[in-house]
Amino acid sequence: MKKRWYDIDPVVSTAIAKLEQTEEYIQVRCADFIIDKLKDIDFNIEMSLDDQYNYIMRRWYDKNIKVSHAMEYLRNAPIDLRKELALEIIDFIKEYTDYAENSGNDSIYLS
């Protein structure tokens, strides 16, 4: 069976699994964070017009274009940076979950 790109590293795999289980607005917040961290790295990620028009949403993160782009950035990031960001994603999700539980409101955004 072929491994997914994020299953190669257990830390990255854990971060992506936790991210998949969160609400979409948390996924978008994490996507903003990932894109912001990786925006200055030249990945040379390009999709042809055919790819853009024939885009099939097969993966869970393809449902939101920003989350999809962030996952592509993360997938193409250097391995050490990918792992560092994965740890930060795990921390963010834990911090958000703790905050939401303590406030008694699941829909509160962290600032």
What's the confidence (pLDDT) of residue 41? 78
Q: What is the mean pLDDT of the chain?
A: 82
Most distant CA pair in the chain: distance in Å? 47
pLDDT band at residue 38 under the 50/70/90 scheme: confident
Torsion of CA 98, 26, 72, 8, to 10 degrees: 30
pTM beyond 0.85: the answer is no
- Select the more confidently predicted residue: 49 or 81: 81
25 in Cβ contact with 109 (< 8 Å) = yes
